[in-house]
Chain A
């Protein structure tokens, strides 16, 4: 039987209601998706069934996971954060500037760390051979960028507004436009891969991936804010997106948290 959007909508609503009930019953707020989130069908065979083993990092400050790999100037080129300049011609689409800060849970900047992004082009197609969505590839856009955060934890990318695209989770499934982000913190425990969305996308309620974040306020933290001050005159629209890394790290321990 064909899986419809209506079927998925019902599953999403049930997961949301179950979360609300857990919180009402006193369970803590959940900032991250549960790995077992059936509306996203690919999760079904790819989530562990055993609970993870907890490691209290305060008991051993020597854990290698409390440190992070280092990245430096030789790991990026000057135009890596401008995805519109990676080919000879201009990519097609609406130019955007995406900027913000990389922070830890205490609100402190994460300096000198690597941020990588990748995305579909303006027509909603990835430059990946296995992606066969019938939308044009853009010879002037690959959709991959990198940067290293500055002394304030700041980052900035110039790119093209990605398009939404269909996928095969269920019949008529569409992903809201998004940019994939990968971040390192000052500890490997803070590693984060996620997706940034754009304000007021009409596809949000239908998408089991964004809805896998069942907490309403947590989900909002994946959505960038339009920021007119970031818009570059005669050039690009500006979006602001601050990122907060979870996970314990060494500075916490020093402060006796």
Chain B
């Protein structure tokens, strides 16, 4: 039964999730997927890291999506992350001017991903963070996590999520400062140092 009768709300039940599988690579990733920051923007930061499985092996086929606010804490409303060329059907890329706040990166053969985006501003009661959604072969339901940036200890201590997470696991949500606006954020799907994943209710 896949025609939903919206006049009967009790029949409106969620479509189950499935794995993204191994062969999305010619479909979902796009050139410049991680180049989210407008060209030459002074608040640009570089994020990079690896995605690891339960044996500590990097995943060469994980897909990472990032979604974050602009430096003033406003949610981006511009489209155009995957602009297309109507003449060739190919990609023309972002326009380098507008900030869409969203990016998508496939890990490379080494399990490495990177993105250049804008340093997010704070919203509501949270310390500034970038929302992350991870997909992979073998992962039947995607995983949400967050990248918090180090530096403002008071803001991090007051964050409603970080203050609830066990001390021993809290640091998996905070990127490491590698200097010059570059941060390292590894995602460990399982086992020692397992990243804290989130469930929104």
Given the complex, which residues of B lie within 8 Å of A43, measured CB to CB?
19, 138-140
- With contacts A101-B4, A188-B133, A221-B2 taken as known, whether A40 is within 8 angstroms of B14 at the C-beta atoms is no
Total interface residues on A, CB under 8 Å, equals 94
Which chain B residue has the least Cβ–Cβ distance from A46?
A: B138
Bound: A45/B160 CA distance, A: 30
Which chain A residue has the least Cβ–Cβ distance from B103?
A: A69
Q: Which of A31-74 contact B (CB under 8 A)?
A: 31-35, 37, 40, 42-50, 52-57, 59-65, 67-72, 74
Given the complex, which residues of A lie within 8 Å of B167, measured CB to CB?
none
Q: Contact between B15 and A192 (Cβ–Cβ < 8 Å)?
A: yes
Interface residues on B, range: 35 or more
Tell me the minimal C-beta distance from B172 to chain A in angstroms: 10
Given the complex, which residues of A lie within 8 Å of B4, measured CB to CB?
101, 103, 107, 242, 244
- Among the 9-residue stretches B22-30, B111-119, B149-157, the one with 4 or more Cβ atoms under 8 Å from chain A is B22-30
- Among the 9-residue stretches A15-23, A88-96, A212-220, the one with 4 or more Cβ atoms under 8 Å from chain B is A212-220
- Among the 9-residue stretches B39-47, B52-60, B174-182, the one with 4 or more Cβ atoms under 8 Å from chain A is B52-60
Q: Contact between B82 and A53 (Cβ–Cβ < 8 Å)?
A: no
User: Is B78 an interface residue when CB atoms closer than 8 A count as contact?
Assistant: yes
Of A68, A69, A224, the contact of B2 (CB 8 Å cutoff):
A224
Q: Contact between A70 and B100 (Cβ–Cβ < 8 Å)?
A: yes
Q: Contact between A191 and B133 (Cβ–Cβ < 8 Å)?
A: yes
Q: Contact between B23 and A69 (Cβ–Cβ < 8 Å)?
A: no
Bound: A182/B82 CA distance, A: 15
Which chain A residue has the least Cβ–Cβ distance from B135?
A: A193
Q: Contact between A194 and B28 (Cβ–Cβ < 8 Å)?
A: no
Interface residues in chain A, defined as those with a beta carbon under 8 Å from any beta carbon in chain B: 31-35, 37, 40, 42-50, 52-57, 59-65, 67-72, 74-80, 86, 100-101, 103, 105-108, 116-118, 120, 126-128, 130-131, 142-144, 180, 182, 188-189, 191-195, 209-210, 212-213, 217-225, 227, 240-248
5 contacts between A and B (CB under 8 A): A31-B14, A57-B201, A128-B22, A194-B17, A209-B18
